[in-house]
Structure 1
């Protein structure tokens, strides 16, 4: 089965980080996607009929009708439709807001791939309705379409979290407090040992706990927070690139520009000039 998932599929292009994309597919046996290095965003699926097969390079799990699957950033993944079935599913690539992270703490099916099972038909239909709205808003192009799409995605994540709240472990308060701290003081030159000391953990234990709870390292999250703030400043102020870099906590404008281009797919100067749309 792993040979079907890994070796027979061609490598697919990675997604653009920060871009909210979604859709609904009905795929027969032979449909396969391969991203051996993972992506920088989360990937969510909701199986409507049939089942999908997921592989992380070492283990395999199924996502049958009534289940959702969430692939975390950086997880190598291979997925497709197994034999004797047709897989119909909703899907969505997204980068979460900081306050969404507790909603993503789902049980792990295999390493890097989380899941939730819906037994309540009414709740499942509610979730499907929210997913339908997300896709519709993503296809529209008007003043409020982007915000409506983000709101629909938040509703999806809230419904999933609500469904599993009795079985999932809540976010560790030490991780939650760290997220609040770096979100409010992102300009500060934080490092892992310093943050670990604030919550009375060793650096290695803190780094491991944070990664397990959020799906990314604390420095990756801090970098993402800084880049999001820099995007707002590019859109709403006349500050120079160097001033924005300093304002959000980057010591060197060149390094900031490289990080911005890697995250948003374009250098900050080009982004500002052309006012490129993003959902991040």
Structure 2
């Protein structure tokens, strides 16, 4: 059964297998410091006031409509920004799905901190509604319809069961996609050729497509040899290596969020041979696809 909490211990962070969501409205002086970091990812969405978030050597301000994401394993701190009247924000501790990393990468501020900002006001309402659904869905037992809304007094909820956890993660995936797709990423890689960026976008948009060096080169108006050289020179890996990584991330998401067989996951991710898929997936994630899915389904039970 889901467990509700009025508040987590100030410096505590839940283990990565749980999805924990909350909404705080804090006054000046509030702050959290975790010198050892956390085992789980932390997502912070500001609805009012201002906060200050630091991870390792990276530091960002968090204003209304900013999504700040902290990867696990690095020392971090967050607090009401000095001189601010307060800070209202949603927060989620969870194990991020592998497929979210490419969406967040353009907003990398260093040391595992991602600042997805600025997001347009037009998406704020939908994002906040998704957080509200997460708070309600954390109570879902999987045996009846999820609650339409969370009780008004509830500020924190813990989703233990698989059904509640996956439903909450689906809402968080919507939030990450909405914000990452609509924000204007900073120019973190100013030296990257626009044609290479377009090829990256083509791969990310449809990793299962039958891309080749020749087909990608044609889409960006370069010869295959010039395209392959430029891509590898600027991104540090070949186009086909980048494509394989994108396909593996896509496969991991399908294993996490669908009941497709491993063979169908392989085909839907662009792998012609299930045997080849099993081998490269194990090389990338350390376990075969079936074991990866089984481990994910047991988290939070």
TM-score greater than 0.5 by the shorter chain:
yes
Alignment of 1:108-119 (within 5 A): 108-119=108-119
Report the Cα distance in structure 2 between the residues aligned to 1:188 and 1:83, rounded to whole angstroms.
47
CA 113–52 in structure 1, closer or farther in 2 if over 3 Å, else same: same
Corresponding residue for residue 29 of structure 1: 28
Deviations 1:47-75 (A, max 9, x none): 10111111224343211112110112222
Tell me if structure 2 keeps the 8 A contact 1:23–1:91.
yes
Corresponding residue for residue 71 of structure 2: 72
Report the Cα distance in structure 2 between the residues aligned to 1:160 and 1:176, rounded to whole angstroms.
24
The worse-fitting range, judged by mean Cα deviation, of 99-108 and 42-51 is: 99-108
Count of matched residue positions in the alignment of Structure 1 and Structure 2: 199
Corresponding residue for residue 177 of structure 1: 244
Deviations 1:54-111 (A, max 9, x none): 1224343211112110112222211111333211001111222333332232412343
Corresponding residue for residue 182 of structure 2: 163
CA 226–92 in structure 1, closer or farther in 2 if over 3 Å, else same: farther
C-alpha RMSD of matched pairs (Å): 3.3
Tell me if structure 2 keeps the 8 A contact 1:33–1:80.
yes
Tell me if structure 2 keeps the 8 A contact 1:187–1:226.
no
CA 175–21 in structure 1, closer or farther in 2 if over 3 Å, else same: farther
Alignment of 1:120-159 (within 5 A): 120-143=120-143, 145-159=164-178
Report the Cα distance in structure 2 between the residues aligned to 1:40 and 1:176, rounded to whole angstroms.
29
CA 155–35 in structure 1, closer or farther in 2 if over 3 Å, else same: same
1:222 is aligned to 2:241: no
CA 123–162 in structure 1, closer or farther in 2 if over 3 Å, else same: same
Report the Cα distance in structure 2 between the residues aligned to 1:158 and 1:81, rounded to whole angstroms.
26
Report the Cα distance in structure 1 between the residues aligned to 2:39 and 2:111, rounded to whole angstroms.
16
CA 39–86 in structure 1, closer or farther in 2 if over 3 Å, else same: same
Unaligned runs of 5+ in 1: 1-9, 191-217, 236-263, 265-275
